[in-house]
Structures are given as structure tokens and as C-alpha cells.
Structure 1
């Protein structure tokens, strides 16, 4: 037979990308840990051939396994903690921790609903330790809070959901491979009324819905839990909405140049017509959200001691988009 290599069906199957559940088991991660690893870019995924849920290449599994300190270091990178444990890591009270989070100083990495349908925010332990270790942050951890921060908190401002959406938007856009997917990712953060106002063509709206990122899985569709999660994932302040509207318009213009939306059942592309909408000013379109001008929102209930938590290169989002996301998290 000489040195020839025979490729068998079993060999090809072995090299095929793995479903995410299988990949999590291969890496020894719980489902929540694996989902965070993907969101943080610790484990890279690839599009599925059948258009279903993204998968993990066998080479990616081997790359992660070969990384230094695997698996303990990987688990530490994706360790998420609640308010009580997070306050302990930072050596502050839970009350101060909650105030820092509501003021937008600490950014949640995920959330879930407890059995009372209260929103429980979780934070990366690694980020909390780094924040507490930075000397520049020492005044926020001891003594009196800055006057501007106290004024916002006294007014009832709660930026946890907005900051989570900013982080979530960065993840969604990082998964996109073309302008249509970017438009669908941005649209997923807007109310359907906003989308209908900006995208008048029904075929384009249908295509955006088809490409919409899969939901986070908080309850059955139209259930009380799903409705609460939908409120969290939908932009609700004017500056955030203005930025998303402008981003959707820009993404749609790029997408239409790439290819028109398909017409269902005909195989022919849609014309891509859009009726004119009220234009935004340049400042409205590109201005990042300013915590000082956000409307007052009532914080939702929070469980202070939640239970323990059970690729290839992609096209990058625009620099303006990434800069806005970064500024929004640091606000």
C-alpha cells in the first residue's frame, strides 16, 4: 500500500464539526460554562452546513485542550458569580457591589430568572478581581461614592440591562459573516415596531427574522419568563435606540449592495425597496449612550445570593461600532 493515506467515512466523520453539547462534554464544561466560553471567544464556533446551530471544529477542541493550564484555567476564565460571591471577591459589601453594578461600573456577563421570576445578574469573577486590584478603582471600593454616581443612583437609574445588551451586541456581531447577518443581529435588539418603521419591505423583514440570532432560551415562547427576558434584550432608552436605528440603516444599505433579500416560494430576489423614513441627524445617529441623559428606570428584583452556575477568523464589525461598545461598557 506504500505511504498512501486512505480516507474512510469514519475518518471524515471524526473530522466533522461537533454539536455544541458534544463539544462541551469533550472539554469537560457544563452547559453554562461552555456558553460563556463561546461568548467570550475562548471557544470559537463555525456556521453549520445545514444552517442550524453553530458547531465547533475538531481542530478547535484540540487547540483548547492544548492550551496552558487546561482545564482549570479555562473554567476560571468563564467562572460567573452573583452579587454575594462577587462582593466577597472584591472585599466590599453586597450593597456597595449592587450600587456599582446599577451605576454601570460593573458589567454583567449573563442573567437568569430564579423560581420567583426575579432577574439574577452574574459577573465574571476574573473581571471583578482585576477591577478590585486596579489602584485607580480604589476610591469606588471604599468611602463615599462620587456625587454624580450617587445622584444617578438616587434617581433610580439602573444600567445593568443596558450594559449587558452592549456586551451581548458585541458577541452577536462577532458571530456574523456578512452584512445581512449584522443587520439581523442589530435588529434583534430593537422592538418590532422600530424594525417595521425602518425596514418597509416585507421580504427584507422576513429575511432578517430568518437570520435572527437564536434566543437565549429563557422559558417557552410567550411564557412570562420569556417576556421578561425579551424586555431585557430589547433596547429601552432613547440614546441606545437611536444608535441601533442608525446602525440598522447602515447595515441594511450594505446588505442591499451585497444581495437582495429572497422572495419566499419563487426563487427570485426581492427588489429591496424601502420607503423613506424620518432621517436622524448625524449626532443622533452616531452618539453613544450617555448615562447622564438616560431616563430613570426602576430596578427589577434581584436575588442577592444565586446558586452556583450549574474558529476561524470572521469579518470584524466596523471600528465605530466596536468603539461605541467599548465606551458603553466603560461608561
Structure 2
């Protein structure tokens, strides 16, 4: 990834937007990582007016620069974005922990070209009513755009299901996916919605409020898509499950000896100091002269010599 960014002469933010917009194709390399084929780098470098043309396609603007780009006020630009007419492509949290939305410059120009009537005069009545009720579609529009980018890169049904599980969050996912091992597998495959876009000042509650679906229609649609993706994923293969523990040996009743395994049994070997079985009395031990003589004459001679010494 780093070498591809250097070859394309993009900064880190421009490169992340290029990946998000699928300006250059990536391939998986295992362990959740991806790389850029060199053919993609050569294709972009061969374009006319490289790298200015590529930078223009991935350039982003805030609400101030975006309003100046199409000649409207910042307040009107914010109302159009809150109404879902201009979708943000990135976001970060500033030092005051407020979310700052960034928009694709080409999208802003395209909106001004396609909807010139919304740049001047009064806004439509339905849009004014929605804004008066406090509706704000910026986070929802960003989530939809981000999910669409990840779905284009999904390799199978499990990867697609992981995108919808990331959008729903852990609580709603647990209600839709009751199997613990399937949820664990989806967490391993989750793409991570805010890579490089949250900054260093975003608290956890701000991140969760931005990346997790909160609108009832959005949640219902994501659950339906998650269920469909899971049906396809289970048909492809099951989620990894741990190996079952080995069965314990059967318990023996007191006084019962274990039965030998089937098959030929090895011959019993005599132990060098075998004890007498219970119930049989040991032979009486008397003086040395009364003991049974050793049948080996050589050993008997050695014993006599040792006694004399």
C-alpha cells in the first residue's frame, strides 16, 4: 500500500479516498490485508495529466470550501447536506470533539450542475420541514456510501455479512445472529468503518454514534441484508467452530477391573520383585543354613570366599 501511494504521488488522505472510491483495484493477501496490483498503478500513471487528474477526482472539501466552490452560503450548504442531497465521503473529530464532514469536490460540482434551482431562492417545503424537525442525513449518507465501497470488495457471503454486522453494531447483530461462533467470525472479518477518518480527538461515543446505524429504516434494511448474506454464506461453508473435547473414559464401578481392549494382548512379563498375591502366605524365613541351597556351584564358591574374608 505504501509503495503504491508513493508511485501515485498521493498523500495519505488522497490515497484513502482513492481506495474508498475504488479508483484503484486491490486484492486480498490474507489476514485481512490487501495490496494494489502493479498493473493498477501503471494504468493510473498512464492517464493523461497524471497526477493532477487523479488528485482532482479524489479531492475533498469541507462545508466552507464546498460552499465557495458552487457560490452559495455555508448555511445553505449545510442544509443541503443535512437533507441528504450531498453525501459526505469522510469525517473527523476536531479538538472540540465535534464531527467535521468532508465532501468529494466532484460531487459538489455535479450537484450544482444537476440542481441549479436549489442553489438560490427558498428551499423546498418538505426539506424545510425535515430540517425543522432536526433531521440530519449526513452520518446515514456516509454510512451508506462506506458500506457500498466495502461491498464492492467483499469476496464471499461471509465478508458481505460482516459489512452489515459492522453497520448494525454488536447489540443489533446479536439479535439477528444468535450463534456465538458466527458472530465471532463476523467480528474477525469486519472491515472497520472509520479507518483514517476519525482523527485523534474522537471519543468512543462519537465514533459509535457516527458509524453505527441509528435510523429505524436503516436498521431494518441492514438486518434484512444481513439475513440474506448469512443464508448465502452458510450455503457456502459453515463458520469456524472449535474442536469438540474428547469423550471421557467410562467410569468403573468399585471392585470392577477395566476390560482389555479388543485384539491380541501382549504377553505378561514377570516383574523382578513381584509381590505375592493376597491370600497366599509367604514362605517361612529361617536361618541361613535352612535356606534352599543355590544350585549354581560357582556362586556358592564365591559366597564361601566372601564369608572367609
How far 1:33 moved relative to its partner? 0.2
Matches within 5 A, 1:144-163: 144-163=122-141
Distance 2:202 2:20 in 1: 26
CA offsets 1:234-287 (integer angstroms, 9 cap, x no match): 000100000000111111011000000011467xxxxxxxxxxxxxxxxxxxxx
| 2:177 corresponds to which of 199, 215, 222 | 199
CA offsets 1:38-57 (integer angstroms, 9 cap, x no match): 11111111101x32421111
Structure 1 length as normaliser, TM-score? Answer: 0.70
1:27 aligns with 2:23: no
3-state SS of paired residue (1:54): strand
Distance 2:243 2:20 in 1: 35
1:123 maps to what in 2?
A: 103
Unaligned ranges ≥5, structure 1: 1-19, 267-331
Q: Deviating runs (4+, > 6 A) in structure 1? A: none
Distance 2:71 2:234 in 1: 52
Matches within 5 A, 1:175-194: 175-194=153-172
How far 1:114 moved relative to its partner? 1.0
Distance 1:31 1:227 in 2: 26
- Contact 1:219/1:225, CA 8 A, preserved across alignment: no
3-state SS of paired residue (1:195): helix
1:169 aligns with 2:147: yes
- Contact 1:109/1:122, CA 8 A, preserved across alignment: yes
How far 1:153 moved relative to its partner? 0.7
1:107 maps to what in 2?
A: 87
Radius of gyration: which is bigger? Answer: 2
Distance 2:182 2:176 in 1: 11
1:72 aligns with 2:72: no
Distance 1:30 1:53 in 2: 20
By relative contact order (CA 8 Å, sep 6+), the higher-ranking structure is 1
Structure 2 length as normaliser, TM-score? Answer: 0.75
3-state SS of paired residue (1:47): strand
Distance 1:253 1:72 in 2: 45
Number of aligned residues: 242
Distance 1:186 1:126 in 2: 28
Distance 1:241 1:133 in 2: 33
Unaligned ranges ≥5, structure 2: 245-309
| 1:36 corresponds to which of 17, 24, 33 | 17
1:229 aligns with 2:210: no
RMSD value over aligned CA atoms? 1.5
1:59 maps to what in 2?
A: 39
